[in-house]
């Protein structure tokens, strides 16, 4: 959902189409980036099939209002919701890559250091870092990274 180009309600249209083809009384499990404040992320240069030297749309980051509106406008009902939260720490990378920590001068160096180290050892540290900094909760305690929701068609 978050990578559907931000035309007017493109994510709602996609979710509505999923609902249309879903078996009667079917459920879907949906996860999207979730932040305190909604955001549209643009990246410099090429993104997916869009070749450009300018900024290109990359993803949406939903907040509570934007997420609720998308679900409601698509005709689904949110039956269950769970939050993926990130504890703070030196290598809580979402904070430095996408979150409020990206404003710090050293943020890009932390992310680059991880990339270089992974290249040297030939292994991703994502699983290790996820076990250390991420947790799943039915309440928002630390900074929210993603929301996971079970949506049912009504």
How is 87-99 classified by DSSP, letter by letter? --STT-HHHHHTS
Contact status, residue 15 vs residue 7, Cβ threshold 8 Å: no
pTM reported for the whole predicted model:
0.79
Using CA atoms, how far apart are residues 106 and 111, in angstroms rounded to an integer?
9
The answer to whether 103 and 53 have CB atoms below 8 angstroms apart is no
Rounded to whole angstroms, the Cα distance separating 79 from 84 reads 17
Cα–Cα dist 26/154, whole Å: 9
Residue 47: the pLDDT is: 67
| Cβ neighbours for 90, distance < 8 A, ≥ 6 positions apart | 110
Q: What per-residue confidence (pLDDT) applies to 80?
A: 94
pLDDT at 148: 95
pLDDT tens per residue across span 23-37: 988 899 999 999 888
Average pLDDT value for the chain: 87
Which distant-in-sequence residues (6+ apart) come within 8 Å of 82 by Cβ? 136, 137, 138, 147, 148, 149
Mean pLDDT over 75-85 rounds to 93
Instruction: Please give the DSSP secondary-structure letter assigned to residue 62.
Output: B
Cα first-last separation, the chain:
20
């Amino acid at each position: 959902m978050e990578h559907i180009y931000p035309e007017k309600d493109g994510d709602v249209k996609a979710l509505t189409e999923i609902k249309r083809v879903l078996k009667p009384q079917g459920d879907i499990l949906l996860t999207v980036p979730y932040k305190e404040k909604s955001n549209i992320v643009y990246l410099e240069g090429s993104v997916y099939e869009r070749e450009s030297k300018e900024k290109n749309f990359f993803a949406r980051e939903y907040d509570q209002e934007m997420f609720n509106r998308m679900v409601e406008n698509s005709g689904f009902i949110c039956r269950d919701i769970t939050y993926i939260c990130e504890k703070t720490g030196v290598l809580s990378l979402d904070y430095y890559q996408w979150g409020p920590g990206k404003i710090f001068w050293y943020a890009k160096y932390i992310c680059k250091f991880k990339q270089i180290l992974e290249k040297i050892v030939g292994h991703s540290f994502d699983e290790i870092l996820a076990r250390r900094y991420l947790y799943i909760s039915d309440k928002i305690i630390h900074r929210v990274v993603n929301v996971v929701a079970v949506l049912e068609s009504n």
